[in-house]
Amino acid sequence: MQLSTTDVESLERATLQAVAPEAVEALPGWLLPMDRGTVGRAHSAVPLSHESPEPSALNAIVARYASRGFSPVFRLPDVPAFHGFQRALQKRGFVRRQPTLTQVARVADLRALAGTGLSGGELAEAPDAAWMAMFLGPGLDPVDGASRARALSRAHGMLYASLREGGQTLACGAASFGHGWLGVHGMRTDAAQRGRGLARQLMGMMAEEALGRGIERVFLQVDASNAPALSLYRRLGFTTAWPYAYWRRPDTR
């Protein structure tokens, strides 16, 4: 799926709507989310286009974060137009971390490829105790998990997807709807239930809801090294729109 500059901006705005920072400021061409939690997208400056940024933006962004008591972090696309900006960050001691992929698909394709299968799926307007227990379960750092849960619970218009069987929650995820995008977030599956297609079904539920709202495109962000997730998303029609990484000083989380 080819994305325009307008598409990039709408996707980044949809991302911040979902992670719901404590505050968001703006400079020309940039959004500056500010948050004291662990969610990188909620506290890193992000450009609204992939065209070459103004060199003066670096000083302005660093100063704005410092004025609010935050250490500056940048979430930058790995595209040629940003190579000069990245070199300037390196000279200031910033390092590149957490290579991540922004992936996109058409909602109709996702719904068709996800298919149907198990019963017991539901979409709720608020996360219940069972959803939270799955989301904060084994394999997730408790502090990071709690921070992510707080961010999701602050988000406007989220739906919380669960698959349950015999009173047990087998898988969960969250769906955001905004700026013309369905966003897929917080996917978790019980370790003993993997291989049953539960994540696929959850995403099919989200896609069906998005189609009912007239939303035609879906995005997600996935760690570039997460081979099982990438394999699933590829089967569901996702392609990489762009890679990105976080730029931060070594002493910054």
* pLDDT tens for each residue of 53-65: 999 999 999 999 9
Q: How far apart are CA 243 and CA 221, in angstroms?
A: 9
Distances (CA, A) of 182 to 152, 192, 203: 15, 28, 10
Class of domain 104-242: alpha beta
Question: In the prediction, which pLDDT does 249 show?
Answer: 94
Phi, psi of 233, deg, nearest 5:
-65, -35
At 195, phi and psi to the nearest 5? 95, 0
Q: Write out pLDDT tens, residues 69-82.
A: 999 999 999 999 99
Strands 74-77, 46-47: pairing kind: unpaired
Partner residues linked to 217 by β-bridges: 106, 181
pLDDT band at 118; cut points 50, 70, 90: low
Tell me the pTM.
0.93
Strands 159-165 and 121-124: antiparallel
Average pLDDT over residues 21-42: 95
The structural domains of the chain, with segments of one domain joined by +, span 5-100+243-248, 104-242
